[in-house]
Structures are given as structure tokens and as C-alpha cells.
Amino acid sequence: MTQLHELTALQLAAAYERGDTTPAEVVDHLLARIEDGDRVGAFTTVSADRARAAAAEAGRVLRAADRSGLPRLFGVPTAVKDLEATAGVRTTLGSSQFRDWVPDHDDEIVVVMADAGLISLGKTTVPEFGAACYTEPEVAAPARSPFDPTRSAAGSSGGAAAAVGAMLVPIAQGSDTAGSVRSPASACGVVGLKPSRGLVPGGPGGDDGLGLSVKGPIARTVRDTAAFLDALTTRTGAGLVHPPRVDGADGYERACDAPVPRLRVAVAQGSVSGAPVDAEVAAAVERTGRVLAGLGHDVFARDQAPDPAFTGGFQVMFTALVGARTAALDEAALRPIVRHLRSRAQKSTAAELAAAIGVVQARARAWTLDHADADIVITPTVTAPPTRVGQLRDDTDPAAELAAMTAFTGNTVIGNATGFPTISLPLGWSSQGLPLGVSLTAGWGREDLLFGVSAALEEALPWAGRYPGRDGAHASPTTRAS
């Protein structure tokens, strides 16, 4: 018999419609799984009382006679990344300096999720200020891959991806500056979308000023990812620059069923970081290309050459963001990698940052022109299977740690620099049973195309039966806040 935690977000919405279950039953069930033990370190703070109150109210609304105006995912549980300020809920930013911070306001993305009728169970674990591609903060247990707890959930949306992969919530919110949705999606065997620049509103404090960071959905299925994006884009147009949104409140979900025209698909092996791509990861990418060729698309090979100017310029931009966020904080209390990034930012001049921005924009434009003959570009999401917890962290040599993180993330920075939508799908599996993400990139504003192709791949190479822990709970302490 299917358990409540095995249901997708859309299946839960349908179950509410039929009267098979209620938001209160689902929330209680998922909170019990979390409270009995979160062995993957998904949550830093669990807001159980608030979630139960929201579920009770959602149940009252669902029992009303007219449900016609309710959002598609009304009453579905989710979680908020711990980088997003949430009024009345502890928000640590992954930092010991914010261990006890309880904001008095909601960030824009939190408001958008609440307006969609989603019920947050709490805050998912992040590295300090989101400044690492692993999730091992001082304020919470490390986020781990549900497929092997000795392996990292990557970062910075590591807790969010772990929560979805461990079936603690069906969907979770992430954010992505240099691969922070897609790298964890790869490590945790889930779907992670970095939307087009400007599609999901960031609000007054949610944009980084350099055009790199975006909010994005994480889910176990392509259709849930699309439905969640529908919910997150109800305020499209709040930014200065934004792509056209698909028509209809469920436009991205409908794109999963829309006929996909014959496409030109480039299979691009290699990495702009210059790091070698693991053989099993490369094989997963090649297999994806063969499947799409079998579905009638024109598939061709394309090398992804190392581009040190691209990655070097991107590092300067990323360190500037970290430096700006931490400038007023106690340096001694920062994690070594954050201290290192802040120090690099403080030593860079405005002219050097401007030059780096110019280089990244030029290289992003060059990448776009190099792939102008492709509707979809397929690459490895990251260069290797999930790393072991602690493997990328090097407190004694943070410069070496930065180099290792750059090598691991590989191509993820391309999507942030171009602003193009990129989705990571769990289309490969290592000989040890670890998930291997494969990335698909489309043109700006073409999420609909990504969802159509991704849904076809999910049908051809299904992964739903691979999730672990379908009949049990998990183990590590969490903090509860009402």
C-alpha cells in the first residue's frame, strides 16, 4: 500500500480533492518522519506548530463548498531554504552568528509560497551564507544524500534536496547562484530546476545585483517541478527584466504533456572548470543522448572545452557577493572558506570586479553562440558522483577547497552566467547505486521546452522506484520552533 510520504505533490492535491486524506493527516505523517529522525540532515529548524496550524486551516478551506479558486498545490507540504528570512521562524543562514535570529519579516519567495497555499514544515539546512557546494554548517548536522548517508547532499540547497529525496517533503524551495539547486539535485537523485533569469521574483532583497542568483523548485518528478514553478511565478513581472511566462496558471505543468517537436540536441562532454568528468557520469550523459535520438531528435556531439577565463571571472563575481554579505560580521566567527572568500573580495578593486563581469558576460555570449545550432544542450550536472561528507571541505587550505569545489561543480556556472534555464535529472546511477545527474539547458524563457523533453526522459528512464527509505524513518536531532 502506498504511504502518504510516497505521494507526489500533485498526487497529494488529487487526494485532497477526492477526500482520501487531509493536509492535517499528511503534515502529521511527515512531521513524525522528521521527528523520529532526520538521518540526512535535511532540516535545521522544524516549525511543527506553525505547520499543524496551517494544515488545520487548509483543511477547513478544503471542506468549503467552492474550491474552484484554490491554487493547484493548496495544502501541500514543502520547506523553505534557510537562507530565506521567515517571520517568526529561526533563520540561521547556516551561520553561528545567526544561530538565534528570528526575523520579523518574510522574504518575497516565502510570501509567494504562502500565497500558493503551500505549508512549510521548516527551514532546510545550508552551508554558511550558501557559500559552499557542500552543506556542513556549524549550526546543524551535515546534509547527506538519501542514497548513502556517508555521501554529501552537495550545496548550497543540500538540505532541500535531501528532504525531497528522503521523502520528508514532496517539494522544496532552493536557490542557485553557481549550481546550488542542480548540484544537490544530482547528489540526492531528485529533479532541480534553475529557472531563467528574472522568471521567479526575488523581491527587493532577493536579487544579488549581478544577475547570477535565482530561486528554483526541487521535486522527485518532472511534473511536480513544473507545478511548483507554476506556483512560484504568480508574480512574474516584479523584476526589471523577465522572460515571458507560459499562458495559464498551470502552463508549465501542461508543458509536460505537450507534443515536443523534433529538436536539435547537443551532447557536450567535458567541463568549463577543466576537471575530468567521471566515466560513469559521462556514460549517463551519452545514454541520455542515445535515448533522445531514439525518440526522434537530431543528436550530435559537442566538446565542452575548459575555459579558465570564464571560471576565473565567475570566481571574482562570486567572492564579491560573499564579501558584500559578510562585510559587517565578525571575521573570527566565520567558517574558513567564507573568511577566504571575504578576504579575496576585500583585496579586489572595483576595476577588477568590473573586468571580471565583462569577461563572464563575453564568455557567456560566446557559449551561447557556440551552441546556437542546438535547442537543448546536455552536459554532466557535476563532474563526479556524490562526494563523501567532508571530502571537499579543507579548513586548513580554503584556497585548495575553492579549487576543489570549482572542479566538482564543473559546468553549473554556465546557466547562472547566461541566465538560461537548466534542469538536472537523475538519469544515471553509479555501480554503487549513487545518483548521477544529467543537465539539460534550453534558451532563455524556454522552461516549457525543458519540461516537455524532461517528461519524455522520465518516462523512458524512470527513477521513481529507486528512492530509499520508503518504509522507515531517519535519524539526527533537529530543532523545533513554533
Collapsing DSSP to helix, strand or coil, 181 comes out as coil
Displacement of CA 277 from its chain's centroid (Å): 21
Q: Are 188 and 167 in contact (CB under 8 A)?
A: no
Q: Which amino acid is at 36?
A: D
Phi then psi dihedrals of residue 144, to 5 deg: -125, 155
Cα gap 349→361, rounded to integer Å: 19
Cα gap 189→163, rounded to integer Å: 11
Question: Going edge to edge, which strands form the sheet with 479-480?
Answer: 77-81, 119-124, 43-46, 479-480
Q: How far is CA 142 from CA 166, 282, 433, 436, in A?
A: 14, 28, 21, 20
State the catalytic residue, choosing from 81, 123, 194, 215. Answer: 81
Q: Are 164 and 172 in contact (CB under 8 A)?
A: yes
Cα gap 163→50, rounded to integer Å: 18
State the catalytic residue, choosing from 156, 183, 196, 439. Answer: 156
Collapsing DSSP to helix, strand or coil, 480 comes out as strand
215 tagged catalytic: no
Collapsing DSSP to helix, strand or coil, 481 comes out as coil
Q: How many Cβ atoms are within 10 Å of 472's Cβ, its own excluded?
A: 11
Displacement of CA 116 from its chain's centroid (Å): 19
Cα gap 244→215, rounded to integer Å: 17
Cα gap 90→398, rounded to integer Å: 29
Cα gap 318→353, rounded to integer Å: 10
Residue with cell 507540504: 77
Q: How many Cβ atoms are within 10 Å of 235's Cβ, its own excluded?
A: 16
Residue burial 315-344, b: 16+ Cβ < 10 Å; e: rest:
bbbbbbbbbebbeeeeeeebbebbbbbbeb
Q: Are 61 and 71 in contact (CB under 8 A)?
A: no
State the catalytic residue, choosing from 120, 180, 213, 271. Answer: 180
Closest to 80 (Cα-Cα) out of 69, 90, 72: 90
Cα gap 197→457, rounded to integer Å: 25
180 tagged catalytic: yes
68 tagged catalytic: no
Phi then psi dihedrals of residue 218, to 5 deg: -130, 135
Closest to 43 (Cα-Cα) out of 150, 160, 185: 160
Q: Which residues are catalytic?
A: 81, 156, 180
